[in-house]
Amino acid sequence: MSTVGKAISLLELFTVAEPELGLSDLARRSGFDKATTRRLLVALTGHGLVEQDAATRLYRLGAGLSRLARIREARFPFLQTAVPLVRDLASATAETVHLSEYGVDRLVTVHVEHPARANRVNVDIGQLLPLHSTASGIVYLAFARDEAVKACLTTPLEAFTAHTLTEPAAIARSMGEARERGYSICDQGLEEGVISVAAAILAADGFALGTIAVAAPKARTTAADIAERGLAAVAAAREISMRLNGDNLQALRRQA
Amino acid sequence: MSTVGKAISLLELFTVAEPELGLSDLARRSGFDKATTRRLLVALTGHGLVEQDAATRLYRLGAGLSRLARIREARFPFLQTAVPLVRDLASATAETVHLSEYGVDRLVTVHVEHPARANRVNVDIGQLLPLHSTASGIVYLAFARDEAVKACLTTPLEAFTAHTLTEPAAIARSMGEARERGYSICDQGLEEGVISVAAAILAADGFALGTIAVAAPKARTTAADIAERGLAAVAAAREISMRLNGDNLQALRRQA
DNA sequence: AAATAACGGTTCAAATAATGAACCACATCC
DNA sequence: GGATGTGGTTCATTATTTGAACCGTTATTT
Protein backbone atom coordinates (compact mmCIF):
# COMPACT_ATOMS: atom_id res chain seq x y z
CA MET A 1 0.00 0.00 0.00
CA SER A 2 1.24 3.47 -0.77
CA THR A 3 2.16 5.77 2.08
CA VAL A 4 -0.69 8.00 1.04
CA GLY A 5 -3.09 5.08 1.23
CA LYS A 6 -1.85 4.33 4.72
CA ALA A 7 -2.43 7.89 5.82
CA ILE A 8 -5.96 7.85 4.45
CA SER A 9 -6.70 4.52 6.06
CA LEU A 10 -5.87 6.20 9.35
CA LEU A 11 -8.55 8.78 8.64
CA GLU A 12 -10.97 5.95 7.97
CA LEU A 13 -10.56 4.58 11.47
CA PHE A 14 -12.54 7.48 12.90
CA THR A 15 -16.29 6.88 13.10
CA VAL A 16 -19.32 8.57 14.59
CA ALA A 17 -19.17 6.03 17.40
CA GLU A 18 -15.44 6.59 18.01
CA PRO A 19 -14.52 10.04 16.80
CA GLU A 20 -11.40 10.39 18.94
CA LEU A 21 -8.58 7.90 19.17
CA GLY A 22 -5.18 7.74 20.83
CA LEU A 23 -1.88 7.02 19.14
CA SER A 24 -1.46 3.45 20.36
CA ASP A 25 -5.06 2.68 19.50
CA LEU A 26 -4.64 4.00 15.98
CA ALA A 27 -1.43 2.03 15.55
CA ARG A 28 -3.09 -1.15 16.78
CA ARG A 29 -6.15 -0.79 14.58
CA SER A 30 -4.29 0.24 11.48
CA GLY A 31 -1.64 -2.42 11.92
CA PHE A 32 1.12 0.14 11.37
CA ASP A 33 4.04 0.68 13.64
CA LYS A 34 3.56 3.28 16.31
CA ALA A 35 6.35 5.43 14.88
CA THR A 36 4.87 5.16 11.40
CA THR A 37 1.40 5.94 12.68
CA ARG A 38 2.63 9.00 14.42
CA ARG A 39 4.56 10.25 11.43
CA LEU A 40 1.46 9.91 9.31
CA LEU A 41 -0.63 11.68 11.92
CA VAL A 42 1.87 14.52 12.07
CA ALA A 43 1.69 14.89 8.30
CA LEU A 44 -2.11 14.88 8.39
CA THR A 45 -2.19 17.29 11.31
CA GLY A 46 0.16 19.64 9.51
CA HIS A 47 -2.46 20.05 6.80
CA GLY A 48 -5.47 20.24 9.09
CA LEU A 49 -6.95 16.88 8.16
CA VAL A 50 -6.43 15.68 11.71
CA GLU A 51 -6.38 17.60 14.98
CA GLN A 52 -4.95 16.63 18.31
CA ASP A 53 -6.72 17.59 21.49
CA ALA A 54 -4.26 19.66 23.48
CA ALA A 55 -5.43 18.24 26.78
CA THR A 56 -6.17 14.57 26.15
CA ARG A 57 -3.63 14.06 23.30
CA LEU A 58 -6.34 12.20 21.45
CA TYR A 59 -6.56 12.61 17.70
CA ARG A 60 -9.70 13.48 15.75
CA LEU A 61 -10.64 14.49 12.22
CA GLY A 62 -9.67 18.08 11.47
CA ALA A 63 -11.24 21.28 10.19
CA GLY A 64 -9.47 20.94 6.84
CA LEU A 65 -11.89 18.18 5.97
CA SER A 66 -14.84 20.51 6.44
CA ARG A 67 -13.14 22.96 4.15
CA LEU A 68 -12.49 20.45 1.39
CA ALA A 69 -15.96 18.95 1.73
CA ARG A 70 -17.50 22.39 1.37
CA ILE A 71 -15.48 23.09 -1.75
CA ARG A 72 -16.77 19.86 -3.18
CA GLU A 73 -20.31 20.77 -2.18
CA ALA A 74 -19.97 24.09 -3.95
CA ARG A 75 -19.34 22.22 -7.19
CA PHE A 76 -21.68 19.39 -6.48
CA PRO A 77 -24.42 20.56 -4.12
CA PHE A 78 -25.61 17.09 -3.34
CA LEU A 79 -26.26 17.44 0.37
CA GLN A 80 -27.68 20.93 0.13
CA THR A 81 -30.11 19.78 -2.53
CA ALA A 82 -31.04 16.44 -1.09
CA VAL A 83 -31.32 17.03 2.64
CA PRO A 84 -34.65 18.88 2.56
CA LEU A 85 -36.18 16.07 0.53
CA VAL A 86 -34.70 13.48 2.87
CA ARG A 87 -36.43 15.31 5.71
CA ASP A 88 -39.72 15.37 3.87
CA LEU A 89 -39.51 11.68 3.15
CA ALA A 90 -38.63 10.95 6.77
CA SER A 91 -41.62 12.80 8.13
CA ALA A 92 -43.91 11.29 5.50
CA THR A 93 -42.85 7.73 6.31
CA ALA A 94 -42.01 8.12 10.01
CA GLU A 95 -39.09 5.77 9.42
CA THR A 96 -35.34 6.15 9.07
CA VAL A 97 -34.31 7.72 5.77
CA HIS A 98 -30.71 7.78 4.65
CA LEU A 99 -28.92 9.35 1.75
CA SER A 100 -25.82 7.87 0.18
CA GLU A 101 -23.30 8.72 -2.45
CA TYR A 102 -21.12 6.37 -4.43
CA GLY A 103 -17.46 6.16 -3.55
CA VAL A 104 -14.93 3.43 -4.34
CA ASP A 105 -17.24 0.44 -4.90
CA ARG A 106 -19.42 1.16 -1.94
CA LEU A 107 -22.07 3.65 -0.97
CA VAL A 108 -21.19 6.25 1.60
CA THR A 109 -23.93 7.38 3.98
CA VAL A 110 -23.81 11.17 3.91
CA HIS A 111 -27.03 12.06 5.67
CA VAL A 112 -29.58 10.38 7.92
CA GLU A 113 -32.93 11.38 9.38
CA HIS A 114 -34.26 9.27 12.23
CA PRO A 115 -37.92 9.23 13.24
CA ALA A 116 -38.78 10.31 16.78
CA ARG A 117 -39.68 6.84 18.00
CA ALA A 118 -37.78 4.32 20.06
CA ASN A 119 -38.06 1.31 17.81
CA ARG A 120 -36.38 2.34 14.64
CA VAL A 121 -33.51 1.37 12.39
CA ASN A 122 -30.33 3.18 13.29
CA VAL A 123 -27.92 4.27 10.60
CA ASP A 124 -24.79 6.29 11.29
CA ILE A 125 -23.44 9.04 9.13
CA GLY A 126 -20.34 7.80 7.39
CA GLN A 127 -21.49 4.20 7.42
CA LEU A 128 -20.36 2.29 4.33
CA LEU A 129 -22.94 0.18 2.52
CA PRO A 130 -21.99 -2.83 0.38
CA LEU A 131 -23.61 -2.79 -3.04
CA HIS A 132 -24.97 -6.31 -3.14
CA SER A 133 -26.71 -6.57 0.20
CA THR A 134 -28.59 -3.31 0.64
CA ALA A 135 -31.59 -1.74 -1.06
CA SER A 136 -29.45 1.29 -1.82
CA GLY A 137 -26.76 -0.85 -3.39
CA ILE A 138 -29.13 -2.79 -5.60
CA VAL A 139 -30.86 0.24 -6.99
CA TYR A 140 -27.51 1.94 -7.44
CA LEU A 141 -26.30 -1.00 -9.50
CA ALA A 142 -29.56 -1.02 -11.45
CA PHE A 143 -28.77 2.46 -12.72
CA ALA A 144 -24.97 2.28 -12.75
CA ARG A 145 -22.44 1.96 -15.55
CA ASP A 146 -21.83 -1.59 -16.72
CA GLU A 147 -18.23 -1.47 -15.47
CA ALA A 148 -19.37 -0.78 -11.92
CA VAL A 149 -21.88 -3.62 -12.06
CA LYS A 150 -19.32 -6.00 -13.46
CA ALA A 151 -16.74 -4.97 -10.86
CA CYS A 152 -19.25 -5.71 -8.11
CA LEU A 153 -20.56 -9.02 -9.40
CA THR A 154 -17.18 -10.51 -10.22
CA THR A 155 -15.80 -10.18 -6.67
CA PRO A 156 -16.81 -12.72 -4.02
CA LEU A 157 -19.84 -11.43 -2.16
CA GLU A 158 -20.15 -11.61 1.59
CA ALA A 159 -23.31 -12.99 3.22
CA PHE A 160 -24.21 -10.80 6.19
CA THR A 161 -27.38 -12.70 7.12
CA ALA A 162 -29.11 -15.90 6.03
CA HIS A 163 -31.11 -13.70 3.62
CA THR A 164 -28.20 -12.01 1.86
CA LEU A 165 -28.17 -12.69 -1.86
CA THR A 166 -24.68 -13.66 -2.95
CA GLU A 167 -25.41 -15.27 -6.32
CA PRO A 168 -24.67 -12.83 -9.16
CA ALA A 169 -27.75 -14.11 -10.98
CA ALA A 170 -30.03 -13.45 -8.02
CA ILE A 171 -28.62 -9.97 -7.64
CA ALA A 172 -29.04 -9.26 -11.34
CA ARG A 173 -32.68 -10.32 -10.99
CA SER A 174 -33.14 -7.92 -8.05
CA MET A 175 -31.57 -5.18 -10.14
CA GLY A 176 -33.94 -5.91 -13.02
CA GLU A 177 -36.95 -5.66 -10.73
CA ALA A 178 -35.62 -2.45 -9.28
CA ARG A 179 -35.16 -1.00 -12.74
CA GLU A 180 -38.75 -1.83 -13.66
CA ARG A 181 -40.32 -0.64 -10.42
CA GLY A 182 -38.00 2.34 -10.04
CA TYR A 183 -37.10 1.26 -6.51
CA SER A 184 -35.36 -1.70 -4.91
CA ILE A 185 -36.43 -3.79 -1.96
CA CYS A 186 -33.95 -5.46 0.33
CA ASP A 187 -35.33 -7.87 2.87
CA GLN A 188 -32.82 -8.36 5.70
CA GLY A 189 -29.87 -8.45 3.36
CA LEU A 190 -27.53 -6.63 5.73
CA GLU A 191 -29.18 -7.07 9.10
CA GLU A 192 -31.90 -9.36 10.47
CA GLY A 193 -35.27 -7.73 10.99
CA VAL A 194 -34.64 -4.74 8.76
CA ILE A 195 -36.41 -4.15 5.48
CA SER A 196 -35.46 -1.29 3.18
CA VAL A 197 -36.51 0.29 -0.08
CA ALA A 198 -34.34 2.64 -2.10
CA ALA A 199 -34.41 4.78 -5.23
CA ALA A 200 -31.51 6.04 -7.34
CA ILE A 201 -30.43 9.65 -7.69
CA LEU A 202 -29.11 10.24 -11.19
CA ALA A 203 -26.33 12.45 -12.49
CA ALA A 204 -26.63 14.48 -15.68
CA ASP A 205 -25.30 11.53 -17.69
CA GLY A 206 -28.26 9.40 -16.60
CA PHE A 207 -26.24 7.10 -14.37
CA ALA A 208 -26.73 6.78 -10.62
CA LEU A 209 -24.59 8.90 -8.36
CA GLY A 210 -26.27 8.03 -5.08
CA THR A 211 -29.45 6.77 -3.47
CA ILE A 212 -32.16 7.63 -1.01
CA ALA A 213 -33.50 4.82 1.14
CA VAL A 214 -36.15 4.14 3.77
CA ALA A 215 -35.24 1.51 6.39
CA ALA A 216 -37.73 0.07 8.85
CA PRO A 217 -38.17 -2.79 11.30
CA LYS A 218 -39.65 -5.66 9.32
CA ALA A 219 -42.06 -6.54 12.11
CA ARG A 220 -44.25 -3.51 11.50
CA THR A 221 -43.91 -3.32 7.74
CA THR A 222 -46.68 -4.50 5.39
CA ALA A 223 -46.52 -5.02 1.64
CA ALA A 224 -48.56 -1.85 1.25
CA ASP A 225 -45.99 0.06 3.33
CA ILE A 226 -43.26 -1.16 1.02
CA ALA A 227 -45.04 -0.01 -2.11
CA GLU A 228 -45.93 3.33 -0.58
CA ARG A 229 -42.39 4.00 0.62
CA GLY A 230 -40.95 2.84 -2.65
CA LEU A 231 -43.03 5.29 -4.65
CA ALA A 232 -42.29 8.09 -2.21
CA ALA A 233 -38.56 7.34 -2.44
CA VAL A 234 -38.72 7.38 -6.23
CA ALA A 235 -40.50 10.73 -6.18
CA ALA A 236 -37.89 12.15 -3.81
CA ALA A 237 -35.00 10.73 -5.83
CA ARG A 238 -36.43 12.10 -9.05
CA GLU A 239 -36.87 15.53 -7.52
CA ILE A 240 -33.30 15.53 -6.23
CA SER A 241 -32.01 14.40 -9.63
CA MET A 242 -33.92 17.17 -11.36
CA ARG A 243 -32.76 19.86 -8.98
CA LEU A 244 -29.17 18.69 -9.32
CA ASN A 245 -29.23 18.63 -13.08
CA GLY A 246 -31.28 21.73 -13.62
CA ASP A 247 -34.34 20.02 -15.04
CA ASN A 248 -32.14 18.51 -17.69
CA LEU A 249 -34.29 15.93 -19.44
CA GLN A 250 -31.32 13.69 -20.01
CA ALA A 251 -31.39 13.03 -16.31
CA LEU A 252 -34.56 11.05 -16.73
CA ARG A 253 -33.45 9.14 -19.77
CA ARG A 254 -32.86 5.91 -17.95
CA GLN A 255 -35.47 6.31 -15.30
CA ALA A 256 -38.27 6.97 -17.77
CA MET B 1 7.90 17.19 2.33
CA SER B 2 6.41 13.84 3.17
CA THR B 3 4.59 11.96 0.47
CA VAL B 4 1.42 12.36 2.49
CA GLY B 5 1.94 16.10 2.59
CA LYS B 6 2.34 16.14 -1.15
CA ALA B 7 -0.89 14.25 -1.63
CA ILE B 8 -2.76 16.64 0.63
CA SER B 9 -1.28 19.65 -1.11
CA LEU B 10 -2.84 18.29 -4.28
CA LEU B 11 -6.23 18.36 -2.57
CA GLU B 12 -5.57 21.96 -1.61
CA LEU B 13 -5.28 23.01 -5.24
CA PHE B 14 -9.00 22.62 -5.73
CA THR B 15 -11.03 25.74 -4.98
CA VAL B 16 -14.60 26.91 -5.39
CA ALA B 17 -13.45 28.88 -8.42
CA GLU B 18 -11.62 25.89 -9.94
CA PRO B 19 -13.18 22.73 -8.62
CA GLU B 20 -12.00 20.51 -11.45
CA LEU B 21 -8.46 20.21 -12.73
CA GLY B 22 -6.60 18.07 -15.24
CA LEU B 23 -3.50 16.00 -14.59
CA SER B 24 -1.01 18.30 -16.30
CA ASP B 25 -2.55 21.30 -14.62
CA LEU B 26 -2.28 19.69 -11.21
CA ALA B 27 1.32 18.69 -11.90
CA ARG B 28 2.19 22.22 -13.00
CA ARG B 29 0.58 23.91 -10.03
CA SER B 30 1.85 21.50 -7.44
CA GLY B 31 5.34 21.47 -8.91
CA PHE B 32 5.42 17.67 -8.81
CA ASP B 33 6.31 15.48 -11.72
CA LYS B 34 3.40 14.33 -13.83
CA ALA B 35 4.05 10.70 -12.96
CA THR B 36 4.23 11.53 -9.26
CA THR B 37 1.11 13.64 -9.46
CA ARG B 38 -0.76 10.85 -11.09
CA ARG B 39 0.40 8.25 -8.60
CA LEU B 40 -0.78 10.48 -5.78
CA LEU B 41 -4.10 11.07 -7.51
CA VAL B 42 -4.58 7.34 -7.98
CA ALA B 43 -3.94 6.78 -4.28
CA LEU B 44 -6.40 9.52 -3.36
CA THR B 45 -8.97 8.26 -5.84
CA GLY B 46 -8.65 4.74 -4.47
CA HIS B 47 -9.89 6.02 -1.14
CA GLY B 48 -12.58 8.33 -2.48
CA LEU B 49 -10.86 11.58 -1.58
CA VAL B 50 -10.64 12.44 -5.26
CA GLU B 51 -12.86 11.49 -8.18
CA GLN B 52 -12.15 11.51 -11.85
CA ASP B 53 -14.84 12.50 -14.31
CA ALA B 54 -15.27 9.53 -16.61
CA ALA B 55 -15.91 11.74 -19.64
CA THR B 56 -13.58 14.71 -19.26
CA ARG B 57 -10.82 12.90 -17.28
CA LEU B 58 -10.72 15.91 -15.01
CA TYR B 59 -10.15 15.35 -11.31
CA ARG B 60 -12.24 16.80 -8.51
CA LEU B 61 -12.63 16.37 -4.77
CA GLY B 62 -14.37 13.11 -3.87
CA ALA B 63 -17.32 11.88 -1.85
CA GLY B 64 -15.04 10.44 0.81
CA LEU B 65 -14.39 13.97 1.98
CA SER B 66 -18.08 14.55 2.61
CA ARG B 67 -18.12 11.37 4.62
CA LEU B 68 -15.15 12.31 6.78
CA ALA B 69 -16.38 15.86 7.22
CA ARG B 70 -19.75 14.55 8.38
CA ILE B 71 -18.11 12.25 10.91
CA ARG B 72 -16.23 15.24 12.23
CA GLU B 73 -19.43 17.27 12.33
CA ALA B 74 -21.12 14.53 14.33
CA ARG B 75 -18.49 14.99 17.04
CA PHE B 76 -18.19 18.69 16.64
CA PRO B 77 -21.44 20.12 15.26
CA PHE B 78 -19.91 23.45 14.43
CA LEU B 79 -21.57 24.08 11.08
CA GLN B 80 -24.93 22.69 12.10
CA THR B 81 -24.97 24.89 15.16
CA ALA B 82 -23.56 28.03 13.67
CA VAL B 83 -25.16 28.27 10.23
CA PRO B 84 -28.61 29.38 11.43
CA LEU B 85 -27.04 32.16 13.46
CA VAL B 86 -24.86 33.17 10.54
CA ARG B 87 -28.04 33.49 8.49
CA ASP B 88 -29.72 35.59 11.15
CA LEU B 89 -26.73 37.88 11.35
CA ALA B 90 -26.62 38.19 7.57
CA SER B 91 -30.23 39.22 7.28
CA ALA B 92 -29.93 41.58 10.24
CA THR B 93 -26.91 43.36 8.79
CA ALA B 94 -27.62 42.94 5.06
CA GLU B 95 -23.91 42.39 4.58
CA THR B 96 -21.67 39.39 3.93
CA VAL B 97 -21.24 37.19 7.00
CA HIS B 98 -18.66 34.45 7.11
CA LEU B 99 -17.87 31.73 9.57
CA SER B 100 -14.39 30.35 10.07
CA GLU B 101 -12.67 27.66 12.00
CA TYR B 102 -9.06 27.48 13.02
CA GLY B 103 -6.79 25.09 11.17
CA VAL B 104 -2.98 25.07 10.93
CA ASP B 105 -2.18 28.71 11.74
CA ARG B 106 -4.90 30.13 9.58
CA LEU B 107 -8.64 30.44 9.66
CA VAL B 108 -10.63 28.32 7.27
CA THR B 109 -13.84 29.79 5.88
CA VAL B 110 -16.46 27.10 6.34
CA HIS B 111 -19.65 29.00 5.62
CA VAL B 112 -20.68 32.25 3.96
CA GLU B 113 -23.95 34.14 3.60
CA HIS B 114 -24.05 36.87 0.98
CA PRO B 115 -26.65 39.63 0.99
CA ALA B 116 -28.91 39.95 -2.05
CA ARG B 117 -27.33 43.11 -3.36
CA ALA B 118 -24.85 43.71 -6.12
CA ASN B 119 -22.29 45.73 -4.24
CA ARG B 120 -21.08 43.42 -1.55
CA VAL B 121 -17.96 41.77 -0.27
CA ASN B 122 -17.45 38.38 -1.79
CA VAL B 123 -15.96 35.58 0.25
CA ASP B 124 -15.58 32.02 -1.01
CA ILE B 125 -16.09 28.91 0.99
CA GLY B 126 -12.73 27.34 1.68
CA GLN B 127 -10.92 30.65 1.55
CA LEU B 128 -8.00 30.77 3.97
CA LEU B 129 -7.66 33.84 6.17
CA PRO B 130 -4.32 34.97 7.59
CA LEU B 131 -4.46 35.70 11.32
CA HIS B 132 -2.79 39.09 11.40
CA SER B 133 -4.62 40.91 8.63
CA THR B 134 -8.30 40.08 9.10
CA ALA B 135 -10.89 40.92 11.71
CA SER B 136 -11.48 37.21 12.21
CA GLY B 137 -7.78 36.58 12.73
CA ILE B 138 -7.33 39.37 15.26
CA VAL B 139 -10.26 38.34 17.42
CA TYR B 140 -9.19 34.72 17.12
CA LEU B 141 -5.74 35.62 18.43
CA ALA B 142 -7.31 37.72 21.16
CA PHE B 143 -8.96 34.62 22.57
CA ALA B 144 -6.38 32.02 21.55
CA ARG B 145 -3.76 30.09 23.51
CA ASP B 146 -0.52 31.95 24.05
CA GLU B 147 1.38 29.44 21.90
CA ALA B 148 -0.80 30.21 18.88
CA VAL B 149 -0.34 33.96 19.38
CA LYS B 150 3.39 33.57 19.76
CA ALA B 151 3.62 31.35 16.68
CA CYS B 152 1.79 33.99 14.65
CA LEU B 153 3.66 37.04 15.88
CA THR B 154 7.13 35.55 15.58
CA THR B 155 6.84 34.77 11.86
CA PRO B 156 7.31 37.57 9.31
CA LEU B 157 3.90 39.06 8.48
CA GLU B 158 2.85 39.86 4.97
CA ALA B 159 1.37 43.26 4.11
CA PHE B 160 -1.57 42.76 1.75
CA THR B 161 -2.50 46.44 1.51
CA ALA B 162 -1.05 49.73 2.67
CA HIS B 163 -3.26 49.37 5.75
CA THR B 164 -2.14 45.92 6.85
CA LEU B 165 -0.63 45.90 10.32
CA THR B 166 2.61 43.95 10.31
CA GLU B 167 4.20 45.18 13.54
CA PRO B 168 3.68 42.63 16.33
CA ALA B 169 3.13 45.48 18.76
CA ALA B 170 0.37 47.02 16.61
CA ILE B 171 -1.31 43.65 16.28
CA ALA B 172 -1.09 43.04 20.00
CA ARG B 173 -2.79 46.40 20.52
CA SER B 174 -5.59 45.43 18.11
CA MET B 175 -5.97 42.20 20.00
CA GLY B 176 -6.20 44.03 23.29
CA GLU B 177 -8.92 46.30 21.96
CA ALA B 178 -10.78 43.31 20.59
CA ARG B 179 -10.58 41.57 23.95
CA GLU B 180 -12.05 44.61 25.68
CA ARG B 181 -14.79 45.31 23.14
CA GLY B 182 -15.53 41.65 22.49
CA TYR B 183 -15.13 42.18 18.77
CA SER B 184 -12.30 43.13 16.43
CA ILE B 185 -12.29 45.71 13.65
CA CYS B 186 -10.12 45.34 10.58
CA ASP B 187 -9.96 48.30 8.25
CA GLN B 188 -8.76 47.17 4.80
CA GLY B 189 -6.15 44.83 6.25
CA LEU B 190 -6.59 42.22 3.56
CA GLU B 191 -8.23 44.11 0.73
CA GLU B 192 -8.70 47.78 -0.10
CA GLY B 193 -12.18 49.12 0.48
CA VAL B 194 -13.34 46.35 2.80
CA ILE B 195 -14.01 46.82 6.48
CA SER B 196 -14.84 43.90 8.75
CA VAL B 197 -15.78 43.17 12.32
CA ALA B 198 -15.52 39.76 13.95
CA ALA B 199 -16.25 37.96 17.21
CA ALA B 200 -14.72 34.78 18.58
CA ILE B 201 -16.51 31.48 19.03
CA LEU B 202 -15.18 29.70 22.09
CA ALA B 203 -14.62 26.03 22.82
CA ALA B 204 -15.41 24.45 26.19
CA ASP B 205 -11.92 25.28 27.39
CA GLY B 206 -12.57 28.98 26.91
CA PHE B 207 -10.21 29.40 23.98
CA ALA B 208 -11.31 30.45 20.50
CA LEU B 209 -12.05 27.73 18.00
CA GLY B 210 -13.37 29.94 15.23
CA THR B 211 -14.96 33.27 14.43
CA ILE B 212 -17.99 34.91 12.90
CA ALA B 213 -17.40 38.06 10.88
CA VAL B 214 -19.31 40.74 8.99
CA ALA B 215 -17.55 42.19 5.95
CA ALA B 216 -18.79 45.26 4.08
CA PRO B 217 -17.67 47.84 1.53
CA LYS B 218 -16.04 50.63 3.51
CA ALA B 219 -17.70 53.30 1.39
CA ARG B 220 -21.12 52.71 2.90
CA THR B 221 -20.02 51.90 6.44
CA THR B 222 -20.34 54.41 9.30
CA ALA B 223 -18.85 54.21 12.78
CA ALA B 224 -22.33 53.43 14.07
CA ASP B 225 -22.61 50.53 11.61
CA ILE B 226 -19.36 49.12 12.94
CA ALA B 227 -20.50 49.24 16.54
CA GLU B 228 -23.88 47.76 15.70
CA ARG B 229 -22.41 44.92 13.67
CA GLY B 230 -19.77 44.28 16.29
CA LEU B 231 -22.32 43.87 19.04
CA ALA B 232 -24.51 41.69 16.84
CA ALA B 233 -21.51 39.51 15.97
CA VAL B 234 -20.63 39.16 19.63
CA ALA B 235 -24.18 38.12 20.43
CA ALA B 236 -24.16 35.55 17.64
CA ALA B 237 -20.74 34.21 18.62
CA ARG B 238 -21.78 33.92 22.24
CA GLU B 239 -24.93 32.06 21.29
CA ILE B 240 -22.99 29.65 19.09
CA SER B 241 -20.43 29.10 21.85
CA MET B 242 -23.18 28.37 24.34
CA ARG B 243 -25.00 25.96 22.07
CA LEU B 244 -21.77 24.15 21.27
CA ASN B 245 -20.74 23.79 24.88
CA GLY B 246 -24.14 23.07 26.32
CA ASP B 247 -24.48 26.27 28.32
CA ASN B 248 -21.28 25.36 30.05
CA LEU B 249 -20.33 28.43 32.04
CA GLN B 250 -16.66 27.77 31.49
CA ALA B 251 -17.24 28.78 27.90
CA LEU B 252 -17.74 32.32 28.97
CA ARG B 253 -14.82 32.42 31.35
CA ARG B 254 -12.62 34.46 29.08
CA GLN B 255 -15.32 36.43 27.34
CA ALA B 256 -16.93 37.59 30.58
C1' DA C 1 -4.15 17.71 -44.50
C1' DA C 2 0.09 17.51 -42.47
C1' DA C 3 2.59 19.24 -38.53
C1' DT C 4 2.70 20.57 -34.03
C1' DA C 5 1.68 20.76 -29.39
C1' DA C 6 -0.71 19.43 -25.45
C1' DC C 7 -3.14 16.06 -23.24
C1' DG C 8 -3.52 11.63 -20.01
C1' DG C 9 -1.03 7.89 -18.82
C1' DT C 10 3.15 4.38 -18.23
C1' DT C 11 7.94 2.52 -17.40
C1' DC C 12 12.12 1.37 -14.57
C1' DA C 13 16.97 2.38 -12.79
C1' DA C 14 18.34 5.75 -9.44
C1' DA C 15 17.46 8.49 -5.48
C1' DT C 16 15.05 9.29 -1.56
C1' DA C 17 11.84 8.76 1.94
C1' DA C 18 9.54 5.40 4.98
C1' DT C 19 10.23 1.92 8.37
C1' DG C 20 10.34 -0.29 13.09
C1' DA C 21 12.98 -2.23 17.04
C1' DA C 22 14.66 -0.20 20.81
C1' DC C 23 14.53 3.59 23.33
C1' DC C 24 12.75 7.68 26.56
C1' DA C 25 9.65 9.96 30.20
C1' DC C 26 5.55 9.76 32.35
C1' DA C 27 1.21 7.88 34.38
C1' DT C 28 -1.54 4.44 36.42
C1' DC C 29 -2.48 0.21 38.75
C1' DC C 30 -1.69 -3.80 41.84
C1' DG D 1 8.38 -1.19 43.88
C1' DG D 2 7.50 -3.54 39.80
C1' DA D 3 4.63 -4.27 35.89
C1' DT D 4 2.02 -2.39 32.20
C1' DG D 5 0.09 1.22 29.88
C1' DT D 6 0.48 5.73 27.56
C1' DG D 7 2.61 9.43 23.90
C1' DG D 8 6.68 10.33 21.65
C1' DT D 9 11.73 9.84 19.52
C1' DT D 10 15.94 7.89 17.21
C1' DC D 11 18.60 6.03 13.22
C1' DA D 12 20.62 2.13 10.46
C1' DT D 13 18.08 -0.76 7.27
C1' DT D 14 14.81 -1.23 3.73
C1' DA D 15 11.31 -0.38 0.57
C1' DT D 16 8.95 3.20 -1.77
C1' DT D 17 8.96 7.22 -4.40
C1' DT D 18 10.88 9.65 -8.15
C1' DG D 19 11.23 11.64 -12.98
C1' DA D 20 13.25 11.62 -17.75
C1' DA D 21 11.77 9.48 -21.52
C1' DC D 22 8.38 7.12 -23.46
C1' DC D 23 3.45 5.92 -25.85
C1' DG D 24 -1.01 6.78 -27.81
C1' DT D 25 -4.79 10.41 -28.45
C1' DT D 26 -6.71 14.58 -29.09
C1' DA D 27 -7.00 19.24 -30.15
C1' DT D 28 -4.73 23.34 -32.42
C1' DT D 29 -1.96 25.55 -35.93
C1' DT D 30 0.17 26.18 -40.14
The reply to whether B150 and B43 lie within a common domain is: no
**Residue nearest C22, CA–C1′ metric:** A35
> Where does a domain end: B41, B67, B93?
B67
Which of A44, A67, A90 is the C-terminal boundary of a domain? A67
Model confidence pLDDT, tens digit, residues B107-161: 999 999 998 888 889 999 989 999 999 999 999 999 998 888 888 888 888 888 8
User: Which CATH number belongs to the domain containing residue A202 in this structure?
Assistant: 3.30.450.40
Same domain, A24 and A110: no
How does pLDDT run across A100-145, given as a tens digit for each residue? 999 888 899 999 999 888 888 889 998 999 999 999 999 999 999 8
Say if the Cβ atoms of A71 and B125 lie within 8 Å: yes
Number of folded domains in chain A? 2
Nearest to A133 by CA among A98, A102, A107: A107
**Chain C nucleotides with an atom closer than 7 Å to a protein C-beta:** 6-12, 17-22
Domain that holds residue B56: 3-67
Check pLDDT > 60 for residue A222: yes
Tell me whether residues B126 and A74 touch, CB distance under 8 A. yes
Same domain, A22 and A53: yes
Q: Are residues A243 and A170 in the same domain?
A: yes
Query: From the CA of A32, how many Å to the C1' of C18?
Result: 12
Share of chain A above pLDDT 70, in %: 96
Predicted confidence (pLDDT) at residue A250 exceeds the cutoff of 70: no
- How many CA atoms, within 13 angstroms, populate the side-chain half-sphere of residue B110? 29
The answer to whether residues B144 and B177 belong to one domain is yes
User: Is residue A193 domain-shared with residue A127, that is, in the same domain?
Assistant: yes
Query: Are residues B198 and B136 both part of a single domain?
Result: yes
CA–CA separation, B68 and B60 (whole Å): 16
One domain for residues B208 and B139: yes
Confidence band of B247 (pLDDT split at 50, 70, 90): low
* A81 and A48 housed in the same domain: no
Last residue of a domain, one of A42, A67, A92: A67
